Amino acid sequence: MKGWEIRKDRAAVDVDGGVWLFVEFEWRYVIEGTDGACGSAMSFDSFAVLPEGYAPYREVDLPGTVLLCRAAKVAHYQYPKQEKEIRR
Protein backbone atom coordinates (compact mmCIF):
# COMPACT_ATOMS: atom_id res chain seq x y z
CA MET A 1 0.00 0.00 0.00
CA LYS A 2 1.36 3.44 -0.91
CA GLY A 3 1.94 5.98 1.86
CA TRP A 4 -0.65 8.43 0.60
CA GLU A 5 -3.31 5.70 0.64
CA ILE A 6 -3.15 5.26 4.44
CA ARG A 7 -5.91 7.06 6.32
CA LYS A 8 -4.61 9.68 8.71
CA ASP A 9 -6.79 8.36 11.54
CA ARG A 10 -4.95 5.02 11.39
CA ALA A 11 -1.46 3.81 12.17
CA ALA A 12 0.80 2.11 9.65
CA VAL A 13 3.57 -0.46 9.67
CA ASP A 14 6.35 -0.14 7.09
CA VAL A 15 8.24 -2.84 5.19
CA ASP A 16 10.85 -3.10 8.01
CA GLY A 17 8.23 -3.40 10.78
CA GLY A 18 8.52 0.23 11.85
CA VAL A 19 5.39 1.75 13.40
CA TRP A 20 4.11 5.11 12.11
CA LEU A 21 1.48 7.28 13.83
CA PHE A 22 -0.21 10.41 12.54
CA VAL A 23 0.46 12.87 15.36
CA GLU A 24 -1.17 16.30 15.26
CA PHE A 25 -0.54 17.21 11.60
CA GLU A 26 2.23 14.89 10.44
CA TRP A 27 3.43 11.28 10.42
CA ARG A 28 6.05 10.29 12.98
CA TYR A 29 7.63 6.91 13.64
CA VAL A 30 8.21 5.12 16.91
CA ILE A 31 11.85 4.98 18.03
CA GLU A 32 12.82 2.05 20.21
CA GLY A 33 15.21 2.56 23.11
CA THR A 34 18.83 1.92 22.17
CA ASP A 35 22.11 1.35 24.00
CA GLY A 36 20.45 -0.07 27.08
CA ALA A 37 17.70 2.55 27.21
CA CYS A 38 14.25 1.16 27.82
CA GLY A 39 10.98 2.35 26.41
CA SER A 40 10.34 4.16 23.18
CA ALA A 41 9.61 7.66 21.89
CA MET A 42 8.18 9.41 18.87
CA SER A 43 10.62 10.64 16.22
CA PHE A 44 11.56 14.30 16.10
CA ASP A 45 11.43 14.32 12.32
CA SER A 46 8.01 14.21 10.74
CA PHE A 47 6.48 13.81 7.31
CA ALA A 48 3.39 15.22 5.62
CA VAL A 49 2.92 11.85 3.85
CA LEU A 50 4.46 8.48 4.59
CA PRO A 51 7.85 8.26 2.83
CA GLU A 52 7.89 5.98 -0.20
CA GLY A 53 11.34 4.69 0.81
CA TYR A 54 9.70 2.52 3.49
CA ALA A 55 6.82 1.25 1.33
CA PRO A 56 4.86 -0.91 1.13
CA TYR A 57 2.90 -0.05 4.25
CA ARG A 58 0.20 -2.03 6.01
CA GLU A 59 -2.63 -0.04 7.53
CA VAL A 60 -3.41 -0.87 11.16
CA ASP A 61 -7.10 -1.35 12.02
CA LEU A 62 -8.94 0.97 14.39
CA PRO A 63 -8.49 -1.04 17.63
CA GLY A 64 -4.79 -1.51 16.87
CA THR A 65 -4.39 2.20 16.14
CA VAL A 66 -6.02 3.15 19.42
CA LEU A 67 -3.79 0.70 21.30
CA LEU A 68 -0.64 2.03 19.65
CA CYS A 69 -1.62 5.65 20.31
CA ARG A 70 -2.33 4.92 23.96
CA ALA A 71 0.97 3.04 24.31
CA ALA A 72 2.80 5.99 22.76
CA LYS A 73 0.77 8.37 24.94
CA VAL A 74 -0.49 10.17 21.85
CA ALA A 75 -4.07 11.26 22.36
CA HIS A 76 -4.80 12.44 18.85
CA TYR A 77 -7.53 9.94 18.02
CA GLN A 78 -11.09 9.88 19.30
CA TYR A 79 -13.57 7.14 18.45
CA PRO A 80 -16.45 8.44 16.35
CA LYS A 81 -19.71 8.39 18.35
CA GLN A 82 -21.23 5.45 16.48
CA GLU A 83 -18.13 3.32 17.07
CA LYS A 84 -18.23 4.09 20.81
CA GLU A 85 -21.78 2.78 20.93
CA ILE A 86 -20.85 -0.37 18.98
CA ARG A 87 -17.95 -1.18 21.34
CA ARG A 88 -20.14 -1.06 24.48
* First-last CA distance in the chain: 32
Instruction: Report the pLDDT value the prediction gives residue 53, as an integer from 0 to 100.
Output: 94
Q: pLDDT tens for the chain, 88 residues: list them.
A: 778 788 888 899 999 999 999 988 899 998 876 655 566 778 889 999 999 999 999 999 999 998 888 887 765 545 555 555 545 5
Please provide residue 77's backbone torsions phi and psi, each rounded to the nearest 5 degrees.
Answer: -115, 135
Residue 44 domain boundaries: 3-87
